[in-house]
């Protein structure tokens, strides 16, 4: 039995960050990962490969639609899907190799295999070659993440009925794809396939895309994706999917209960993700689950078994890599007797469509529901010089502000580079900076960030300069 101060199960953004922080604080640390590479969902089949493909297809779309206007003439342009996917694999590989390096650099012992609890403090690890190792630790962090959810009665056969994981390795470009779910995965995957020339249909249950974000974002995205020929059907409830051999068929009902069906080469299920605890042997511990299968934790992310903690997708909340990372640092510092904190409502969300979408803090719908009064400052990218220079004039930044103290309550952006712009809004919310403070500082010109400066002006009750 090999003994450690701390063992982390799972090497996604939650697990590997926890292991590194623990090692930095002097704990003898091990990490156990079921797969042959480190990095979890995010690095292997999530954030990283999707962003690689979103970037490649974005460049292709730009070349097709904007290069002429720039005065760049390309006589013959073709998409080499195999090369595009090879590059994506290289990006993933470099990232997983980087993580292996970081484990070594921090003296973290890595075990490849499935971790299975035998008690609150002991584990067996069964490697893919069948080697069994027994481990013991004072503290154990569960960071086993999530898997794609399915719908009742619908089986993912990984042939015609697939999830985002299989979509990332399709060897040939489908002629058509039906995506069930217009959430984050749905719209990112729709963008990738549509830009490659696949006929894309999104079927979504809610009345807007990206239903959990400020509704103006989803509505604006819907218009932009429609313009790019993505077929979007809202308020549709999918109840059956069949593999027809060469194609798959989706059956769904509209709001009035009328039944419809559509066929496509592939059906991609993107209806959320579920916590992953299978094979962990939690029955041998005091760890408990809630009714949806998430591991139950207290405010210190500690489970019912006092020495076992859980972080990331497996405990629920926003299923985001950076949320898992925040929890990783938090939990190790708690174990270390420090006093860290996480402001969950100041964790940003980003959707990597083009234009990008990014959000932090309260949505208008949440403020209305909570009877909180607010003022809005909204500024369009079309009135921004930098946006005009690169023909990225779609979208807006919207800032929601408390009228009494000027505190910023929420920032919602759809527009070029929103993913990077949101970082300064997170600072504003975290440190309760006012809208006036935010526009009273200098912004480089011409930059996309000036859209935010103008939105802060408007939200603070000052007229915009450039409109
Ligand atoms: P995971 O990353 O899921 O890692 C868990 C690890 O635990 C896995 O490697 C698994 O093999 C391992 N494991 C499970 N059980 C065991 C066991 N018994 N023994 C050993 N190992 C085990 N989030 C973002 O913030 N930005 C994005 O752009 C983004 N894009 C995404 C795109 C897609 C297509 C998907 C599916 C997700 C995306 N996400 C994104 C979400 C993000 O991937 C997750 O929120 C994040 O990976 C959660 O991290 P985690 O550490 O909790 O778990
Ligand atoms: P999601 O919860 O964002 O969206 C799922 C959608 O499916 C919802 O809009 C829901 O209304 C719809 N749906 C459910 N049942 C349906 C039915 N029967 N018929 C039609 N529509 C139905 O989940 P997701 O898009 O699968 O993403 C999973 C998680 O991964 C998310 O929590 C997200 O945070 C994370 N993720 C993040 C990023 C990012 O940060 N850029 C990218 C991808 C995934």
Q: Name the residue at shortest CA distance from atom 23 of ligand 2.
A: 272
What is the model's pLDDT at position 467?
Answer: 86
Q: How many CB atoms lie within 10 A of CB 82?
A: 10
CATH architecture of the region 2-148+274-342: 3-Layer(bba) Sandwich (3.50)
Mean pLDDT confidence for 232-261: 97
The pLDDT tens digits of the residues spanning 391-403 come to 999 999 999 999 9
288 near 200, Cβ under 8 Å?
A: no
Mean pLDDT confidence for 165-181: 95
What is the model's pLDDT at position 172?
Answer: 85
41 near 126, Cβ under 8 Å?
A: no
Distance, CA 149 to ligand 2 centroid (Å)? 9
pLDDT band at 218 (very low <50, low <70, confident <90, very high): very high
349 near 360, Cβ under 8 Å?
A: yes
Distance, CA 50 to ligand 1 centroid (Å)? 13
pLDDT at 171 over 90: no
* Nearest ligand to the C-alpha atom of residue 323: 1
The pLDDT tens digits of the residues spanning 37-74 come to 999 999 999 999 999 999 999 999 999 999 999 999 99
The pLDDT tens digits of the residues spanning 404-427 come to 999 999 999 999 999 999 999 999
Q: Is 13 in the pocket of ligand 1 (CB under 6 A)?
A: yes
What is the model's pLDDT at position 109?
Answer: 98
The model's pTM? 0.98
Is there a cis peptide before residue 13, judged by omega within 30 degrees of 0?
Answer: no
Q: Is 315 in the pocket of ligand 1 (CB under 6 A)?
A: no
Distance CA 426, CA 448 (A): 17
The domain segmentation of the chain, as residue ranges, is 2-148+274-342, 161-271, 346-459
Q: Does domain 161-271 have CATH number 3.30.1370.60?
A: no
Distance, CA 306 to ligand 2 centroid (Å)? 33
Q: Does domain 346-459 have CATH number 3.30.390.30?
A: yes
Distance CA 419, CA 290 (A): 33
Domains 2-148+274-342 and 161-271 fall in the same CATH topology: yes
3-state secondary structure of 262: strand
pLDDT band at 164 (very low <50, low <70, confident <90, very high): very high
Active site residues: 445
Q: Torsions phi, psi of 75, nearest 5? A: -70, -45
Residue percentage of the chain with pLDDT more than 90: 99
Instruction: Work out which ligand 1 atom sits closest to the CA atom of 318.
Output: 45
pLDDT band at 120 (very low <50, low <70, confident <90, very high): very high
Give me the chain's average pLDDT, please: 97
467 near 379, Cβ under 8 Å?
A: yes
Mean pLDDT confidence for 168-184: 95
**For ligand 2, mutation pick of 183, 204, 210 (most atoms within 8 Å of CB):** 183
């Amino acid at each position: 039995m090999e003994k450690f101060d701390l063992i982390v199960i799972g090497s996604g953004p939650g697990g590997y960050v926890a292991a590194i922080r623990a090692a930095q604080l002097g704990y003898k640390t091990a990490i156990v990962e079921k797969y042959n590479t480190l990095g979890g969902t995010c690095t292997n089949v999530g954030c990283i490969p999707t962003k690689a493909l979103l970037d490649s297809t974005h460049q292709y779309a730009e070349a097709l639609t904007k290069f002429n206007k720039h005065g760049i003439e390309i006589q013959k342009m073709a998409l080499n899907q195999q090369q595009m996917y090879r590059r994506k694999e290289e990006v993933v590989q470099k990232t997983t190799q980087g993580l292996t390096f970081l484990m070594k650099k921090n003296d973290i012992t890595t075990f490849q295999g499935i971790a299975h609890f035998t008690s609150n403090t002991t584990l067996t690890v069964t490697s893919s070659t069948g080697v069994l190792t027994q481990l013991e630790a004072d503290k154990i962090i569960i960071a086993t993440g999530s898997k794609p959810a399915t719908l009742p009665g619908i089986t993912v056969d990984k042939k015609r009925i697939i999830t985002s994981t299989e979509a990332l390795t399709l060897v040939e470009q489908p002629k058509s794809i039906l995506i069930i779910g217009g959430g984050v995965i749905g719209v990112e995957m729709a963008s990738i396939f549509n830009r490659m020339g696949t006929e894309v249909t999104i079927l979504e249950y809610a009345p807007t895309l990206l239903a959990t974000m400020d509704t103006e974002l989803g509505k604006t995205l819907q218009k932009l994706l429609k313009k790019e020929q993505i077929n979007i059907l809202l308020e549709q409830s999918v109840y059956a999917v069949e593999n027809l051999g060469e194609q798959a068929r989706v059956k769904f009902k509209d709001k009035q209960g009328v039944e419809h069906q559509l066929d496509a080469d592939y059906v991609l299920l993107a209806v959320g993700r579920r916590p992953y605890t299978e094979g962990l042997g939690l029955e041998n511990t005091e760890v408990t689950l809630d009714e949806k299968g998430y591991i139950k934790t207290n405010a210190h992310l500690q489970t019912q078994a006092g020495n076992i903690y859980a972080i990331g997708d497996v405990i629920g909340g926003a299923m985001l890599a950076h949320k898992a990372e925040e929890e990783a640092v938090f939990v190790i510092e708690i174990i270390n007797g420090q006093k860290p904190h996480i402001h969950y409502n100041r964790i940003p969300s980003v959707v990597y469509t083009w234009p990008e979408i990014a959000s932090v803090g309260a949505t208008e719908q949440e403020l209305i529901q909570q009877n909180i009064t607010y003022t809005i400052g909204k500024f369009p990218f079309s009135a921004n010089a930098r946006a005009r220079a690169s023909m990225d004039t779609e979208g807006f930044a919207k800032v929601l502000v408390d009228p009494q103290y000027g505190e910023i309550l929420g920032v919602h952006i759809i527009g070029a580079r929103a993913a990077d712009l949101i970082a300064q809004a997170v600072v504003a919310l975290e440190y309760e900076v006012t809208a006036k403070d935010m526009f009273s500082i200098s912004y480089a010109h011409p930059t996309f960030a000036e859209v935010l400066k103008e939105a802060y002006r408007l939200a603070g009750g000052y007229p915009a300069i450039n409109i």
